[in-house]
Amino acid sequence: MKKPRSAGKLKNKIIWALVILIVAVIITPWGRAFYKTLIILPEFIPNSPIKTANFLTKKPIIKEVQFQSYERTIDADLWMPKTPGKHPAAVLHLGVDIDRKDERAQKLANAFSRSGIAILVPNIPSLSSRRILKEGKEDLISSFQYLNSQAGIKQNGIGFVGFCASGTLVLLAAQDPRISDHTQFVVTINPYFDLSSLYKSLTTRQIEDNGHTFTWQPDPKTVEIYNRETINLLGNKGDIEILQKYLVSPDSELLKSGNFQPLSEKEINTFSKEGRFTYDLLTNKDPNKVSYYLENVNTGQKNFLKDTSPSTNIGNLKAKIYILSDKNNIYIPYTEAEALHLALANKDHSFSETKLIPAGNLANNLPLKESLVEFLKIYKFIWSILSQIS
């Protein structure tokens, strides 16, 4: 029996539609970006059961490398796509306490490199030691310069991808005149923009958004890290020892709540004026007093606030900036990414907000419909990056 002519025509239309789609994916920039986004996206979605990268692409070439950053030796993994030609590239770092062998870093490096983007994942010594220091920026600059020197890398196609504290440090690195003209893009996820406003959120446990004030509960690790850096800039070792004991080393619940144990009378009497002032700064919960404390910290603390805030030299950024903010982030409040977005109003940048934790490993409790909406937001964010840099 002959098939109906209409069924044959429909079959031909479907075949031609598939051919056109395949050709579009192969030869058009938006099509290639669409395909590459499908490869990377599952690694950005928390607990995603879908893994496309390993089935659709060639395994990348992974090299363990070393290079110098001043007196420091940086160990890193270089992930190169197993395809011919020169490739766009990025220095990738996921934040404090996350080194190059961390599963999350490897998953993202694998996905990016399989999509045609070379990735350098360095171990930054200060970040591995739970420290936020200027040397972290210097080590990221050295990482960029090392990547730029490698064969198979597009010289005008190199950038950064950073999460949380590293998302801030890659902005600081991209502002530096040594590499600012050569940095094509910066992808920053949940960064802080201004350290003074972050301190306000950390001490008061509040954030301000569009004229409204909301309670914000930071992760204990964030409180520990920024308390430590502030205290270490004191000149009196006795002050440092006491403040570390009460404001850096207590149990996580005290760090989380900010309800620190009171000092003994003996300890109060041994404090220098600077030590007592720093204690008051870090335990203050009155939003109206924050400005007074931050304006009167010692010189080292003032320099720390200035030197580790992208807000200080925001005008030096020349790269295209891609900002992704997680509204539920407990390490850095989402309002910091929003402040960065507003500061870049007259610069080339992209801004997206989501309720999913990118590349995270926390449980996703969003309803299905809302999860799909957030999934599409992250898809659009990744596609916008790949359509520009691939």
Decide if 51 is inside a domain: yes
Decide if 59 is inside a domain: yes
Helices 299-307 and 195-204, axial angle in degrees (round to 10): 110
Domain span holding position 242: 196-209+218-306
Domain stops at, among 306, 328, 356: 306
How far are the Cα atoms of 13, 37, 86, 88 from residue 116, in angstroms, in the given order? 32, 11, 9, 7
Residue corresponding to tokens 């500061």: 343
Q: Encode burial over 128-148: b for 16+ CB neighbours within 10 A, e otherwise.
A: eeebbbebbbbbbbbbbbbbb
Domain stops at, among 252, 276, 306: 306
Q: Do 204 and 348 share a structural domain? A: no
Q: What is the largest CA-CA distance in the chain?
A: 102
The list of the chain residues with pLDDT below 70 reads 1-57, 357-366, 368, 390
Token readout for 230 is 């502030």
Q: In the prediction, which pLDDT does 367 show?
A: 73
Q: Do 223 and 111 share a structural domain? A: no
Other C-beta atoms closer than 10 Å to the C-beta of 291 total 11
The amino acid that residue 284 corresponds to is N
Contacts 24+ apart (CB under 8 A), 175-178: 175/310, 175/313, 175/314, 175/316, 175/317, 176/137, 176/141, 176/316, 177/316, 178/141, 178/145
Other C-beta atoms closer than 10 Å to the C-beta of 112 total 28
Q: Do 259 and 203 share a structural domain? A: yes
How far are the Cα atoms of 61, 63, 70, 145, 307 from residue 120, in angstroms, in the given order? 12, 10, 19, 11, 25
Other C-beta atoms closer than 10 Å to the C-beta of 150 total 16
Rounded to whole angstroms, how far apart are CA atoms 132 and 93?
14
Q: In the prediction, which pLDDT does 14 show?
A: 42
Decide if 29 is inside a domain: no
The angle formed by the CA atoms of residues 365, 338 and 93, to the nearest 5 degrees, is 70
What is the chain's length?
Answer: 390
Domain stops at, among 306, 331, 349: 306
The string of DSSP letters for 167-236 reads: HHHHHHHHHSTTTTTTEEEEEEES--S-HHHHHHHHHHTEEEETTEEEE----HHHHHHHHHHHHTT-S-
Residue among 135, 92, 281 nearest 203 (CA): 281
Decide if 3 is inside a domain: no
How far are the Cα atoms of 24, 117, 168, 240, 247 from residue 199, in angstroms, in the given order? 49, 36, 15, 19, 14
Q: For residue 121, give the CATH number of its domain.
A: 3.40.50.1820
Decide if 27 is inside a domain: no
Q: Do 176 and 225 share a structural domain? A: no
Overall number of domains in the chain: 2
Q: Do 358 and 259 share a structural domain? A: no
Q: Do 275 and 142 share a structural domain? A: no
Q: In the prediction, which pLDDT does 268 show?
A: 83
Q: In the prediction, which pLDDT does 111 show?
A: 85
Decide if 147 is inside a domain: yes
Rounded to whole angstroms, how far apart are CA atoms 163 and 160?
10
Q: Do 354 and 277 share a structural domain? A: no
Q: Do 261 and 156 share a structural domain? A: no
Q: Do 165 and 104 share a structural domain? A: yes
Decide if 17 is inside a domain: no
Q: Do 107 and 84 share a structural domain? A: yes
Q: Do 326 and 245 share a structural domain? A: no
Q: Do 254 and 165 share a structural domain? A: no
Decide if 2 is inside a domain: no
